[in-house]
Amino acid sequence: MRTIIAVSVGLFLSASAAFAQSETPSTSQTTPAVNTEHNPGAPVAGKNSFTEAQAKERIEDAGYSDVMGLKLDDQGVWRATAKKDGKDAGVSLDFQGNVTMAK
């Protein structure tokens, strides 16, 4: 009788553990580390993990050239001046990867 109870408890715990491991936290699917779509509310404040070199490269990949004065502000947004289509512009890069022109 004890063996049957012990086996039943063991099977129950194994099934519970397997079920718990199969669940995926919702944030892993809805909040990517780097946004692949532009956020209309950008730039978004937050802890920025881009290095200065990565920030400059991402800004240049968005069509800007002559990126100068690149600085990380107190909101976690990289800000610089650059050229786009031959015109000077203020540009920013947030932690989501959104590159935006200053308005």
Instruction: State the pLDDT confidence band at 11, using cuts at 50, 70 and 90.
Output: very low
The strand pairing partners of 87, in sequence order, are 84
Q: Give per-residue pLDDT as tens, 33-43.
A: 555 555 666 67
pTM reported for the whole predicted model: 0.59
Tokens of 77: 């947004």
Q: Give per-residue pLDDT as tens, 48-92.
A: 889 999 999 999 999 999 999 999 999 999 999 999 999 999 999
CA–CA distance, 49 with 95 (Å, rounded to integer) = 7
CA dihedral sign, ordered 41, 42, 46, 49: positive
